[in-house]
Amino acid sequence: MARDQQPAPTLEEELPTTLRRGAVGTLEAAFQSFSYVAPAGDVAILLIGTVIYAGGATPLAVIIAWLIYGLWMVTPVEFSRMITNAGSYYAYSARGFKGGGALALWYWMGENVTGPSFAVLGLSSFIYVLFSSLARTGWAWLPMAIAILVFGVALSYRGVRPSTKFTLLSGSFEAIFLIVTAVIIIFMAGSKNSATPFTLTTIHGSFHLLFLAVIFSILDFTGLGTATTLSEEVEGSKRKIKKALWIGWFVSGLAVIIPAYALTIGWGVHSMAGYGKSADPGLIVYKHFLGPVGWGILIAVTITSYLSYMVAKVNAVTRIWFAGGRDGVYFRRVQGVHTKFRTPYQAVALFFGVILVVNVAAGIVLGPANGSLWLLTISGVCIIAVHIVANTALTVYMTRPGRRFRPLLHGVIPSVSTVLGGVVIYYSVYPLPAGAIRSAVIISLVWLVAGFVAAAYYVRRHPDALRLGGRSRGEEALVPAAD
């Protein structure tokens, strides 16, 4: 055959898939998402943010937030049926519209760098609540922060199998423990059970307070779409990832909603103002109903939940960065894969260095608790922006010739999700809060604007990277370039 008649290389030959195919199953992928949510942290402490606004209507606010997040899950579910790529929302946005990948990845970076503070600084803040003597040292948080970061990085570096096996086992126990103990508390509460927590009675019919509580609760479910970052390592991912996404969403809902109701009636539906002012309300309720044993197990499960979150975080972030580097977007020097472990080790090393510097600096300047809150404020805004870009990309992608556009799934739901995301961002940044959090809000808004500048740069200077970026790996023929 003449040279000019040679068949064109297949996608697999042109862009080889180097992550370990077939290493992850549906449940491992599902608990990647579940561990990213870390429900035990909500049960032990973090529901306070919702309670401050919703009071005795906290279970109602959590249910509404969970259902809204279900709408947001439609985009990764629909894309995962068509595209197999570790870049997740970055890859989906890259296939959607020109510059979409660069924009989504920029916003992902904002969340990727600040979100780990939930575990890196959050764990030490949790332990400080338990042992005030440690808090008085002024330095005990630092070795704890380094230890949990090293744990997540080391396990993720060793391979997707050991890391996802850990999150599957720890996440399964976490879910079972939270659901079973919540049911026990509900039965022990006896006559305290009522439908009141599912009404607006305790907040005097205020939809405004419920709305603010729902916004707070939505952020508790962020990360449910990260099963898609493992798609290249799941055999038959176009069938399995969508199942994993819905399993993760469903189990996370059970593990937060049922305990939220149990904690509400356990504390007292009409006494939730005190819950919102307590440093460790979830632990107090568990100790009251389940004694020192239940209290101690909740502490252990919460600590393990932070560890699982850290592992899930490293797994997700490093694959997103690896996918961007492989395409030549932002991370060109971190596209290497370990020859033995088949993990994106260069991205893992970069993650470790960046997160260590960012979190240590925030902890030194603001303290672990305030430093974590400061970073998570930026994280919340950025992750919602990622959803908005991906929602838009889905609609554009499905309107192309040859695609079966379904108005509800590909038009209405993504558009509604985008509007809801915009509302969440608006109420997250306006009015500008006082104190150090004000600067975090301003930085997050500047980051959003800078994303358009970065995307425009890639559209003009690196059009090939954007044209080829985000393509499906190994399970699909070449897809049309983004228009």
pLDDT in tens, 240-273: 999 999 999 999 999 999 999 999 999 999 999 9
- Quick check: is 476 in a domain? no
Q: What is the pLDDT of residue 13?
A: 42
- Quick check: is 94 in a domain? yes
- Quick check: is 298 in a domain? yes
Token pair of 253, please?
A: 């809902």
- Quick check: is 31 in a domain? yes
Section 179-190 average pLDDT: 97
Q: What is the pLDDT of residue 9?
A: 40
Residue 397 has pLDDT above 90, yes or no: yes
- Quick check: is 116 in a domain? yes
Section 274-278 average pLDDT: 90
Domain count, the chain: 1
Residue 8 has pLDDT above 50, yes or no: no
Q: What is the pLDDT of residue 3?
A: 42
Q: What is the pLDDT of residue 45?
A: 81
Section 471-477 average pLDDT: 65
> Is 0.85 surpassed by the pTM of this model?
yes
Give the Cα-Cα-Cα angle 240, 405, 73 (nearest 5 degrees). Answer: 40
- Quick check: is 482 in a domain? no
Residue 476 has pLDDT above 90, yes or no: no
Torsion angle (degrees, nearest 10) of CA 424, 34, 68, 283: -70
Token pair of 358, please?
A: 């960012």
% residues pLDDT > 70 (the chain): 94
Q: What is the mean pLDDT of the chain?
A: 91
% residues pLDDT > 90 (the chain): 79
Confidence of residue 167 (pLDDT cuts 50, 70, 90): very high
- The secondary structure of the chain, three-state, reads CCHHHCCCCCHHHHCCCCCCCCCECHHHHHHHHHHHHCHHHHHHHHCHHHHHHHHHHHHHHHHHHHHHHHHHCHHHHHHHCCCCCCCCHHHHHHHHCCCHHHHHHHHHHHHHHHCCHHHHCHHHHHHHHHCHHHHCCCCCHHHHHHHHHHHHHHHHHHCHHHHHHHHHHHHHHHHHHHHHHHHHHHHHHHHHCCCHHHCCHHHCCCHHHHHHHHHHHHHHCCCCCHHHHHHHHECCHHHHHHHHHHHHHHHHHHHHHHHHHHHHHHHCHHHHHHHHHCCCHHHHHHHHHHHHHHHHHHHHHHHHHHHHHHHHHHHHHHHHHHHHHHHCCCCCCCCCCCCCCCCCHHHHHHHHHHHHHHHHHHHHHHCHHHHHHHHHHHHHHHHHHHHHHHHHHHHHHHCCCCCCCCHHHHHHHHHHHHHHHHHHHHHHHCCCCCCHHHHHHHHHHHHHHHHHHHHHHHHHHCHHHHHHCCCCCCCCCCCCCCC
Expressed as residue numbers, the domain containing 67 is: 25-468
Confidence of residue 21 (pLDDT cuts 50, 70, 90): confident
Section 35-44 average pLDDT: 92
* Tens-place pLDDT, residues 61-104: 999 999 999 999 999 999 999 999 999 999 999 999 999 999 99
- Quick check: is 2 in a domain? no
Q: What is the pLDDT of residue 359?
A: 97
Q: What is the pLDDT of residue 7?
A: 45
* Tens-place pLDDT, residues 309-367: 999 999 999 999 999 999 999 998 898 999 899 999 999 999 999 999 999 999 999 99
In 10 A of CB 443, how many CB atoms? 17
Section 2-18 average pLDDT: 45
For residues 319 and 36, the answer to whether their CB atoms sit within 8 Å is no
- Quick check: is 17 in a domain? no
How far apart CA 166 and CA 371 sit, in angstroms, is: 28
The enclosing domain of 272 has a CATH number of: 1.20.1740.10
Q: What is the pLDDT of residue 474?
A: 64
Q: What is the pLDDT of residue 467?
A: 82
